[in-house]
Amino acid sequence: MPTIDESLIKHVHDHYAEYTYDMFMMNMSAELEEIELFSEYVDVLNEKKIYTFEAARSGTQTTETDLARANGESVHVVNLSSYNYLGFSYHPDVIKAAQDAVAKYGLGASSSPVISGTYLVHKQLEEALVKFFGLPGRGVSLFTAGYSVNLGAISAFIKPGHHVIMDAASHMSIVEGAKLSGGEMTFFRHNDMAHLEELLKKTCDDFTRVLVCVEGIYSGDGDYGNLKEVVRLAKQYGAFTLVDEAHSALVAGDNGKGVCEQQGVLEDVDMYVMTFSKAFGGVGGAVYAKKEIVQYMNWYAKCRMFSCALDPAVTGGMTKVIELASGPLGAERRKRLKSNATYFRSLLEGKVVLSEGDAWVVIVHFGAESKTLQLNDHLQRSGLDTSIIQFPAVPRNEARIRMFITSEHTQEQLKKAADVILQSAAKFDFLKK
């Protein structure tokens, strides 16, 4: 590595708390300055024993767990940082189905899904999803990550000269999908339907294809998308819609078909995106759409066509998850998840600045990014693991503690977690004034 200016290194040491992710993305020089400075930054956090990231778990994503932190420290925590909303990642029947699939098909798919990587187990998963969502003439296209679904689907659907209009709070995978497409990109203010309409008016004409991208539950804000109004406006102006139901597929709606079901627009949405990493308890994802769109995605979503198919074990496990989620166990866990979220929110309501609504993604705002490292360290050491987020995942100086409630948490665990939040809010000065 080339040696860089000592004063820059000193700056990182003196001001580590003010550094954010984006600052290590910029460098105009030929030297690997950003890589060297980032390495210094990680060293500082390790020296100070506040590197809270990538703490290894020794078992499944259960509601309490031990974290092996960097520097050899271990802490026991209530786990509100996994989006295993229905606890399916460790359900014995799901594990058994994954084991059966790996025994039958082997470890990897060993080919693109379009060449020889499609197995019977993939077809079974596709059929199970089509049956679960239940609309005629629809199909699914499977991907190896939720991230890749947005990346692949948006960049296949939108070409240079077309437009993507996105909510300003959209997940990185939507933004990157839009960038990759080469189309024009515009953001409307978060959940601001008047602003969306203003942009649609400006953008839509007979020659332009416009795709509006929104989320069922916003991952960084924890509130619901106004899908009913988005769909109405998109139809009025002749635009298409993509709804990312990463945090709501299998959970929201009476039957778990997501916020689209809850708001009565499942049939009207052009592309419904789901990720298997959340309530499904696995990894990968899919886009659910009209068969013709799905067929096109299978070939023209490049990160699908030019990449190995979903592994058989996960595919077998996901097929079992859908069976469980469609039956009484799914209904029972969905109900419990919702009452757990309501209970947890009731413990924090009025005391800290909380995300709106009743969703299981619970956000507590604490403001300045400079608090993030010490705060996360304090939370873990106090026995709570959360999914803390800051710029650029959310706007600057709007850092947040993000917590994922699951159906499997007990009231005692949620009470303990809320106590840690309130005690930390007093210490780090983010109690509601």
H or E segment to which residue 214 belongs: strand 210-215
Q: Which of 277, 315, 355, 390 binds ligand PLP (CB under 6 A)?
A: 277
Q: Alpha-carbon distance 239 to 268, whole Å? A: 12
Q: Are strands 240-244 and 210-215 parallel, antiparallel or unpaired?
A: parallel
Name which of 225 and 316 has its Cβ closer to ligand PLP. Answer: 225
Tell whether residue 147 is a contact of ligand PLP (CB under 6 A). yes
Q: Which of 45, 75, 200, 246 binds ligand PLP (CB under 6 A)?
A: 246
CB of 219 to ligand PLP, least distance (A): 3
Tokens of 286: 């899919």
Q: Which of 139, 146, 183, 316 binds ligand PLP (CB under 6 A)?
A: 146
Q: Alpha-carbon distance 378 to 217, whole Å? A: 28
SS3 percent helix, strand, coil of the chain, rounded to 5, is 45, 15, 35
Which residues, listed in sequence order, are joined to residue 184 by a DSSP beta bridge? 163
Name which of 274 and 421 has its Cβ closer to ligand PLP. Answer: 274
CB 83 within 8 A of CB 404: yes
State how far the alpha carbon of 241 is from the alpha carbons of 204, 208, 210, 228, 271, in Å.
13, 14, 8, 11, 6
Q: Which of 155, 219, 382, 386 binds ligand PLP (CB under 6 A)?
A: 219
Name which of 12 and 314 has its Cβ closer to ligand PLP. Answer: 314
Tell whether residue 221 is a contact of ligand PLP (CB under 6 A). no
Tell whether residue 126 is a contact of ligand PLP (CB under 6 A). no
Residues 285-304 that bind ligand PLP (CB under 6 A): 285
CB of 167 to ligand PLP, least distance (A): 11
CB 347 within 8 A of CB 414: yes
The window from 73-81, 91-99, 143-151, 331-339 that contacts ligand PLP (CB under 6 A) reads 143-151
Q: Which residue has the tokens 């899919």?
A: 286
Residues 154-193 that bind ligand PLP (CB under 6 A): 171, 173
Name which of 122 and 278 has its Cβ closer to ligand PLP. Answer: 278
CB of 26 to ligand PLP, least distance (A): 25
H or E segment to which residue 159 belongs: none
Tokens of 221: 């804000």
Q: Alpha-carbon distance 304 to 192, whole Å? A: 33
Where would I find the beta strands (DSSP E) of 70-209? 74-79, 138-143, 163-167, 184-188
Q: Which residue has the tokens 């409307």?
A: 188
Q: Which of 145, 294, 322, 352 binds ligand PLP (CB under 6 A)?
A: 145
The window from 142-150, 191-199, 288-296, 423-431 that contacts ligand PLP (CB under 6 A) reads 142-150
Tell whether residue 270 is a contact of ligand PLP (CB under 6 A). no
Give the interface with ligand PLP as residue ranges (CB under 6 A). 145-147, 150, 171, 173, 215, 219, 244, 246, 275, 277, 285
